[in-house]
Amino acid sequence: MEDTLIEYKTAILAKEKGFTWKCKNYFDTEISSNRINTWYDKEGFKNTLSKNSNKFCTRPSQSLLCKWLRDVHNIHFNVDCSHYEGLHWEVGEIFDFKDQVILKQPFKERFDTFEEAMEFGLFNALKLINNEK
C-alpha cells in the first residue's frame, strides 16, 4: 500500500510555510502541476535546493506532512467518519498540542474519501502557520 501524495496547491503552500523535509517526489512547476516527478537520489529532494526558485516543489505524502505539522508546529487535526445523512468524512478541530488551544473549529465540508478530507485538513492547517515562527 502506498501513501497518498499531496496535491499541487498544498505542496506550494507547504513550501511557502517552510516545509524542507526530504521527499522523493516533487513538482517541476515549469512543466506541469499535474506531473509527478521522482528524485532518484537516495538522499531525496529538499525544497531548500530551490529556495530561491519556484521551479521545483517537493511533494510529500499526506502522512509525512502531518508529521511535519505535529513535530515542527505542534499542529494536529482529526479526520472523522460520519454516518449522519450517509457515510462521509469530515475534518474536526485543528489544534495546537503545545499550548492546547483550538486554532480552528470543525469544518462543515464533507468528503467521499478519507484522503480528500485529509488533503483539505492539511491545506487549512498550513494556512494557520505564521511564517515568522
Mean pLDDT, the chain, whole residue set: 84
Q: Hey, what amino acid is at 122?
A: L
Q: What is the mean pLDDT of residues 36-65?
A: 67
What pTM value is reported for the model? 0.84
Cα separation, 59 vs 64, in Å, equals 10
Range with top average pLDDT, 42-56, 73-87, 115-129:
115-129
Helices and strands counted in the chain (H then E)? 3, 6
Q: What is the mean pLDDT of residues 15-44?
A: 72
pLDDT for the residue numbered 133? 41
Question: Above 60 in pLDDT, residue 47?
Answer: no
Q: Which residue has the higher pLDDT, 19 or 45?
A: 19
pLDDT for the residue numbered 34? 55
**21-33: per-residue pLDDT in tens?**
988 888 877 665 5
Q: What is the mean pLDDT of residues 84-99?
A: 90
Enumerate residues 6+ apart whose C-beta is below 8 A from 11: 27, 57, 58, 59, 60
